[in-house]
Every structure is written in C-alpha cells, then in structure tokens.
Amino acid sequence: MTEDQKLIKFQQRIDADEKIEPKDWMPEGYHKTLFRQISQHAHSEIIGMQPEANWVLRAPSLRAKKILLAKIQDEAGHGLYLYSAAETLGLDRSEMIDMLHKGKAKYSSIFNYPVLTWADIGAVGWLVDGAAIVNQTMLAKCSYGPYARAMLRICKEEGFHQRQGYEIMAKMMNGTEAQKEMAQDAMNRWWEPSLMMFGPHDTDSPNSKDSMQWKIKVESNDRLRQRFIDRTVEQAHHIGLKVPDANLKYNKETLHWETSDINWEEFKNVVNGNGPCNHQRLSHHIKCHNEGQWVREAALAFEAKQMSNPATIK
Ligand code: FAQ
C-alpha cells in the first residue's frame, strides 16, 4: 500500500469511529500530537498533586483530610494510567519526565497558581476538576483506544473530586461571614484560570484542526469552555457565589451565559513558565524525582534478582 493509500484508509477508520490501537499504522502527525497531548495530560495530573498536598496537614477535620488524601492518590493513579497510555506510543516514562524537566513538555497552566486557603481546596475540586471532567468526558470518545479507555476510568473518579470541592464551597457559603468571604475570594481568583484550562480560542489553536480531523479531540476548546461556563454559573448562583465578571449575561436566544474575554496575555505568560508558581512546581518535581532515584534502582535490582532465579517467578 502506498503512503497515500494508508492515509486514506486511516482516515476512513477514524470517520467510521473505529478505535486506533498501538500496533496499528498511524500517520506521523497523529502519533506526534497524541503523544504530546497524553504526556502533557499525565504531567498535569502529577504536578496537580502539589497544590493540594500542601493542605493535607492543614485540613480542618479528619473527614476532610481523608477525602483530600484519597483525591490526591486518585490524581497519582490518573498520572500512571496516562503515562502507560503514552508509553504505548513507544517512549518510556523516564523520557517523558526528562522532557518535562527540560521544559520540552508542558503541563496545565492551572497548577501554577497558589492554593492560599482551605476555600481554594474547594475551588480547585469544584472548578478545576469540574473543567477537567468536561474536557475528559469528550476525550473518552477519542480515536486512540488506550487514551479513551484511560479517560473512562479517570472520569468516574473526577466526578467525586468535583462534588467534594462543591461540598466544601457550599458548606462555607452556609457558614459565617468570614467563611463566605473566603469562598468568594477563592472563586474570584480561580474562575478565570479555570476558563484558561480549555486552551486558546478555536481560531488561535494551532493543534485543533488536525486533532479534530483525527478525532483526538471530538469537540473544540471554545465549545467545551462554554459548556463548563453554563454548568458552573448555575452552580455558583445556587450556593450564593458571584461569578467575578461584570459582563456576565444570560443570552435568552442562544441559551448560553456570555462572559468577558479571557486575559490571554496572562495565559501566555503562565504557559511560558512565568506564572506565580511555575518555578516552584517544576523545581519541586525535579527534587522529588532525584530523591526517588534509590527507589527506582532498588526496584530494578529486585526485578533483576527475581529474573536471575526463575524459581521465584510466580
Ligand atoms: N495549559 O492548539 P491548542 C486535571 C498549549 S487535568 C498549558 O489548543 P491542544 C485533573 C497546548 O499544549 C488538566 N498549555 O492545543 C486534576 C499547545 O502547546 P503545544 C489537564 C496549554 O492540545 C485536577 C498550545 O497551548 N488536562 O486538571 C493549555 O489541541 C486537580 C496551543 O493550544 C489535560 O491536559 C493550558 N491550559 O488543546 C489533577 C487534558 N491550553 O503543546 C490534579 C488533555 C493549551 O503545541 C488536581 N489536553 N495549551 O506546545 C487537552 O485536552 C488539550 O491538550 C488542551 C489544549 C485542550 C489542553
């Protein structure tokens, strides 16, 4: 089969909603953008543990601490599913981590903002995981089998994450004046960064055209962002939170909430490594990775010992 024929056949499989599996032929561009996206997604899950981990020792009750610990462990699991999905494309996890450390791979902009109060933990669960679910429910329909299957498992857990965050916000909005102010302050700081999670406008998104043709993404950045806005504005109003946008308006014709445009300068700045916590997040990851070297060496030594003595292999 010629390259052109392979390309046509590949697109026919995509158009017929067939899943592409690791050993199938795929165009170089499909492989490249899929690897880029899945590995960046995996890094986001792992870096995303940092802002929340900071609050484990300061959670206001044992119940809150147990929920937060469970959530952070879930995020680690999501990272591992995603690294495994990315490894099916032929690079191993250590190479991906090396790319992250060298600034050759990104992670989500949202994790470069500080988590200043307990209300921020509520806002992260409600808004950040809420945005992640909208995006990931779409990605569960992605054309690449291992990524789509990882997403199905991840989405089930993200639902719990979003609800625990909303519960924290709802409780605070039912509390004292100081607690209400804290919740509103968290909303004010996390709203716009959450909208940025969906990426640039469709017209400014260099990867969208190919990604949508190949059904790596089956819905566009703006469409998903709008779905998140419509859902979240109603949830905010339900518990008495104000959406920090003077131009927020319900359009009775389109049945959508309209918002101000995002501060794209800030978005670019954060994505380019100059957000409030970029340096802290990456240097902490590098430090922990280096400190964990002995664990990886011990695991490899143990494996080598097991392999040299077949009687111990179960
Ligand atoms: N941050 O052409 P597009 C979570 C980059 S998981 C940083 O539109 P694409 C769970 C983009 O990479 C959150 N960079 O790109 C959790 C590209 O640069 P490149 C993570 C961004 O890929 C909760 C350039 O801009 N979720 O939260 C961002 O078609 C709590 C041009 O953009 C995912 O990663 C951004 N926000 O669409 C965990 C979902 N947006 O790579 C712990 C999977 C754009 O060409 C605690 N990813 N860029 O150099 C996706 O769905 C897509 O990659 C998009 C971007 C939608 C993020």
Closest C-alpha to 135, from 84, 194, 83, 187: 194
Q: What are the structural domains, with CATH classification, of the chain? A: 16-312 (1.20.1260.10)
Q: Each residue of 113-140: pLDDT tens digit? A: 999 999 999 999 999 999 999 999 999 9
| Ligand 1 close to Cβ of residue 74 (< 6 A) | no
Q: Each residue of 212-235: pLDDT tens digit? A: 999 999 999 999 999 999 999 999
Q: In a mutational test of the pocket of ligand 1, which residue from 128, 205, 228 has the highest number of ligand atoms less than 8 Å from its CB?
A: 205
Q: In a mutational test of the pocket of ligand 1, which residue from 32, 35, 44 has the highest number of ligand atoms less than 8 Å from its CB?
A: 44
Q: What percentage of the chain reaches a pLDDT higher than 70?
A: 99
39-49: average pLDDT = 98
Cα separation, 96 vs 86, whole angstroms = 9
| Ligand 1 close to Cβ of residue 211 (< 6 A) | yes
Q: What percentage of the chain reaches a pLDDT higher than 90?
A: 94
8-22: average pLDDT = 97
Model confidence at 314: pLDDT above 70 = no
Beta carbons of 33 and 207 less than 8 angstroms apart: yes
| Atom of ligand 1 minimally distant from the CA of 107 | 7
pTM (global) more than 0.85: yes
Per residue in 79-110, is it b (16+ CB within 10 Å) or e — as a string?
bebbbebbbbbeeeeeebbebbeeeebbbbbb
Cα separation, 47 vs 287, whole angstroms = 13
Dihedral angle at the C-alpha atoms of 285, 286, 292, 293, nearest 10 degrees?
A: 150
| Tokens linked to 197 | 């999670």
Model confidence at 313: pLDDT above 70 = no
Looking at residue 144, the DSSP 8-state letter turns out to be B
**Residue 247 pLDDT:** 98
Cα separation, 169 vs 184, whole angstroms = 9
Ligand 1 centroid to residue 194 C-alpha, Å = 12
Q: In a mutational test of the pocket of ligand 1, which residue from 40, 124, 211 has the highest number of ligand atoms less than 8 Å from its CB?
A: 40
| Ligand 1 close to Cβ of residue 194 (< 6 A) | no
| Helix, coil or strand: residue 250 | strand
| Ligand 1 close to Cβ of residue 259 (< 6 A) | no
**Residue 308 pLDDT:** 87
| Ligand 1 close to Cβ of residue 200 (< 6 A) | yes
Model confidence at 156: pLDDT above 90 = no
**Residue 199 pLDDT:** 98
- Say which residue the tokens 């017209």 belong to: 203
Sign, Cα dihedral of 149, 124, 247, 198: negative
Q: In a mutational test of the pocket of ligand 1, which residue from 221, 263, 272, 277 has the highest number of ligand atoms less than 8 Å from its CB?
A: 221
Burial class (CB in 10 A: 0-12, 13-18, 19+), 253: exposed
Which pLDDT band, with edges at 50, 70 and 90, does 169 fall under? very high
SS3 content of the chain, % helix, strand, coil (to 5): 70, 5, 25
Beta carbons of 111 and 50 less than 8 angstroms apart: yes
Closest protein CA for atom 45 of ligand 1 = 207
Average model confidence (pLDDT) across the chain? 96
Q: Which helix (H) or strand (E) holds 193?
A: helix 177-196
Ligand 1 centroid to residue 217 C-alpha, Å = 11
Between residues 172 and 311, the one the model is more confident about: 172
Instruction: Please name the residues in contact with 227: beta carbons below 8 A apart, sequence gap of 6 or more.
Output: 134
| Ligand 1 close to Cβ of residue 112 (< 6 A) | no
209, β-bridge pairs: none
**Residue 1 pLDDT:** 82
Most distant pair of Cα atoms in the chain: their distance: 72
258-284: average pLDDT = 97
Beta carbons of 193 and 109 less than 8 angstroms apart: yes
| Ligand 1 close to Cβ of residue 142 (< 6 A) | no
**Residue 191 pLDDT:** 98
**Residue 311 pLDDT:** 72
Closest C-alpha to 127, from 150, 103, 108: 108
Q: Each residue of 57-83: pLDDT tens digit? A: 999 999 999 999 999 999 999 999 999
Query: Measured at the alpha carbon of residue 31, what is the angle toward residues 142 and 131, in degrees to the nearest 5?
Result: 40
Burial class (CB in 10 A: 0-12, 13-18, 19+), 228: buried
The strand ranges marked E within the chain are 249-251, 256-258
Cα separation, 301 vs 278, whole angstroms = 35
| Ligand 1 close to Cβ of residue 36 (< 6 A) | yes
| Ligand 1 close to Cβ of residue 137 (< 6 A) | no
Model confidence at 310: pLDDT above 90 = no
